[in-house]
Structure 1
């Protein structure tokens, strides 16, 4: 903008900058609230257009192969008009702001009747946002226009990044809930228990109001359970309506996607009027998703609210796939379980060979009771270097750079990865801005104290200036301390090797770089392969008493003998001694109770040791009868579940 030549121009420029400052502050404040994206764009772009006396303003999403409109204050749906707006946006480079006059061609063609100020800012490596302000002929012009648009574009980009990060965290939480539900469905072989868990836990995991589960029988599909219903009345109108809608959808031969009352499906519309739900979805539980062929059950999902469905993740489909597998396994178990075997044994007892079979059974029982055998208990574990350290995320943030790869050799304190925390960046900018402002005020106070004309003859005014100067000095000292703290926290975002060794994590760069992480999340491990090695065994809780008893008996033999082999090389068996057994019992990764134990290895005797190699170990727990060795688990089950 040209230098103002009279007081009116100066006042107008000052007023413009004050309004722009207010807009930037309002945009940053609004971005920290749970405001809808469209409402945020509407307020910010509308105020920007008003300040710059622009015809309209828009935000574009620019990728390598496409340009899409995110928001436009003009709300013009004319495709030809939109195509004219797209051309210069797609060609503008990242981190550049240009003002394109109307009706020009060349590098940035502008076929509209407006002068356009476009600022393009990078959001991610493959995504840019472009702020497009269409200036009318009578609007303000000049260099400040580009600066204003670029500043507003930077604030909008930070808002967009924050929403993307929030969306990714929400999606991760939703996937975790669905994964927990699917794990619970596979934890039992009781079909009714599976249906009950799916109805109650499924509504919570999928954030739905009601989930109804029907099981297949010889007459069709019968309602088995519904959300928050303990005593199910199958004769009630609601139960009959659920079974009827499943019958109608099954007759159509396909599943019913999310359907509301204003859509054309007759079965869904009738059911929604009966139940009062806003939308419904019916899915068969069979070998093929969406197919009723061989289905062992069906699920009716209902929502009574108007919340929009997540476009990023279909948790319903994932749950249905696991529920179908769980019900199929449960049905197979019920068909071929103990009841089926009892029927076959009854038929065998009625045959002519029953006496011969009885004598054989008695002989086998005597052999099992009298013949001794080695009691070897199986445990699973992993080979790990004794010296190893885990590297965790010190705070929430985004991994901006990974400096190492899997199996890379690192020195103690060597940088492994660099994180970025947007909140720390904003805090650093705030503190630096306050330091600059305070320094400017301090310089002004010192200038006033050194200028007798500005200070005046009043001694109280001179004393006030001295007090102000001292207060500003203390403020600068405090702000510098804050800056040191922020810088120290930023420095902690550079993750360094806790020891000299080797980095362990597969596909390290792809899984971490440019990805958001949570505080305390495990990122990688650094191990010392040149030091001692050990096997970390997980002994099942039901085996611990035998191991402890055998360990006491083997004290004179310098430890309990252990045979083990590697899954990757099962042909070779190695021997070692059990060192220690933990006194506490906890849950392992599979949710089973187990006790931690260690076996020290000699690296010279075992070639090509690799961290995390899976091991199958046999612990020598002495000699018992052959029957006890073979039928130990059955005997323990009878003792704990039947006789107790």
Structure 2
């Protein structure tokens, strides 16, 4: 029966007491270092034997079934049998309730000391020691104090260890909570799959996680840990998809590692599938994985008896796994926590026009967007309902209304120049004289031939008058008369050629077609000794003292607006223009004429020539050829069309045509 001695006063030697105190200090340091409980319990039991003087030490801890179980024993050659453990329960419970050391004498002549380990007003363990003493009074008091100190240090260690466990569990739960929050932040299917593959790898301690989504009867790889872009035709991708397709038929998870005892085999609930096991083994051989698991994500709220998985998650280990069941449990916990979110993401991805509807809803719910829509609506209303003057413009130059070009009447070389830039000329006044080398050669030849023919005519006439009355003379006179007539005809032809030459010589003098001023710049440099061709423009003469006009080249795409405005409003549309030399002043005029045909400029752009008349008195000194910036008023249109008519016309011609 348990006893409690009234007095324990057997003294210990000084070296032993010092050794006990040193052991207590060492265990206190170990308790603060946070070592593993099994190792700490072993250290406590070793010190119970030496220097504690016990022959056996046992450390008892409460189990989950509310019973006591040994967590350490020294020496390790255990004499505890299940029957003995069951018999000790009552004694251990009594020590736990009384909270005091108990002494039990055994028939074998030994004494057992049971010291409770207390923490937070509860017994969390019991230290049992056995001593080869027949009488408990022989146990030194310092030894009992030493055991009490060991129990106190062990209680502190268990308190620290429990606190560390709680902190570790709290950290793990926080990680899982953060993981769940990250999953629900966005139900975008690629984001959810990426979070499971990458964040789940850290939570479960896996080396790689692959997420495959069911599309019809097949599974498509969506995300792999640490992989940004998946190659759908690669061997690894096809192997994973084939493995997921085969494993999905089983309806439960499949596992395989290096230890065949922990791999999935046939069970009463889940029949074995040799093909799946073969695929698992082949995949392990190809990837050199030490452990692999395939877990289906079954749909929730499904009344079907054998529903098809929404997704398959493949988890792999590439390094030796010390605790495969623990890793498997973590992986299954990951899938359980991720299944509902993944199902929501899959169902959401199957909604038609989801992206467009989300974009619209996001825009409508944003205050900034609402403000932007109001501003945009106001801008559109302003563009549609605000009238504005529609104008047409184009490159323009200012010229005298009466302007003529002086053309070369014949081919030749400019021989004489009688005017220069800005010279006032009268109508018919000689301006240039040309020289024709061919004409200069033909003139002496024709004059010489005329003189020769005239002399021959005189000779024939004299010979004809000197003839007699004989028949030969009469015949010769007739021949001479015929020769004379032929020579006279030749003479008339030569005279006509001479007149033509004189006429051509007269045409070599170029005269002004109108009275005005020479507008061509640097005439001498431009024309002196220059060969010209018939019809070539040489000089420009303008009547600068008369009316002036602005010649506008309106682009062909704007000519329709101009012609429509002339038809619906009035032919002489109002025109405003300014000169770059006088940007602060606006001049006014009206359309005088519009060309009926389009012209092509040097840049191969089609345009219509428009002549604008204006009052010359508006200008002090108009300059011929001065650049003008015109705006032809074509009537009111909406502000939007005025600003965006080029874009509207481009859409009509390039997109709608």
> Which TM-score bucket, shorter chain as reference?
0.3 to 0.5
* TM-score, normalised relative to structure 2: 0.45
Radius of gyration: which is bigger?
A: 2
